[in-house]
Amino acid sequence: MSIRLFDLAPDFDANTSLGNIRFHEWLGDSWGVLFSHPADFTPVCTTELGAVAKRKSDFQKRNVKVIALSVDSVEAHTAWISDINETQGVELDFPIIADPDFTISHLYGFVHPNASDRFTVRSVVVIDPDKKVKLIITYPASTGRNFDELIRVIDSLQLTAKYSVATPANWVQGDDVVISTAIQTEDISAKFPKGYRAVTPYLRLTPQPDL
């Protein structure tokens, strides 16, 4: 099986480096990031887990819970976390799922058999508080993920969940946003009191509403 945008994120029981969890219950009312790793004790994954641990406060302030998955055992994860902490200068304190029989990896489509049937690819899934899948990005095992980009997309998703806006190409916090085409021009002033600029009748920009 695989997952697609706006699907309900599949629920599952898992053994993790921080004990057993039921995924949806563990997520609670938070946003979630689930990211897969090809294997423990691999160099790129080690840097990625360190990078995520360093961004702890960025995820926390966005109400995002982070959980990793690798197809090795809890015992292997525990030993690997010591290495990650030592080599990356972090205190990794989010759970890493042990998925030795690939059950969860198959549920989420993290195994791409033409890449490898022994390793998962490097996928990252963002889940909203309704447990809906809002983002899936997949990288090959040889490319470490860009976690600045992940945070940027989470900011966009959280903004668009709250306001009738979308974010344009290369948008970052503080840039103008695009007013939804569903909003009639005559309704813009009431909804967007900071004003707007119409580049074309369908491309209307307004200052970021939550700043």
For ligand BEZ, the binding residues (CB under 6 A) are: 38-39, 42-45, 119, 141-142
Nearer to ligand BEZ, 12 or 94 (CB): 94
Shortest distance in whole angstroms from residue 103 CB to ligand BEZ: 20
Is-contact 104 37, C-beta < 8 A?
A: no
Q: How far apart are CA 199 and CA 145, in angstroms?
A: 34
* List 14, 34, 45, 76, catalytic entry: 45
- Those residues whose C-beta lies under 8 Å from the C-beta of residue 104, and which sit 6 or more positions away, are 12, 14, 69, 97, 110
Nearer to ligand BEZ, 9 or 71 (CB): 71
Using CA of residue 113, residue 117, residue 120, residue 122, what is the dihedral sign?
Answer: negative
Nearer to ligand BEZ, 73 or 160 (CB): 73
Is-contact 14 96, C-beta < 8 A?
A: no
Shortest distance in whole angstroms from residue 130 CB to ligand BEZ: 32
Our answer to whether residue 105 is catalytic in this structure is: no
Shortest distance in whole angstroms from residue 110 CB to ligand BEZ: 13
Shortest distance in whole angstroms from residue 161 CB to ligand BEZ: 32
The three-state secondary structure class of 116 is coil
Nearer to ligand BEZ, 38 or 95 (CB): 38
Task: Count Cβ neighbours within 10 Å for each residue of 26-39 and write b for 16 or more, e otherwise.
Answer: bbeebbbbbbbbbb
Amino acid, single-letter form, for residue 11:
D
Active site residues: 45
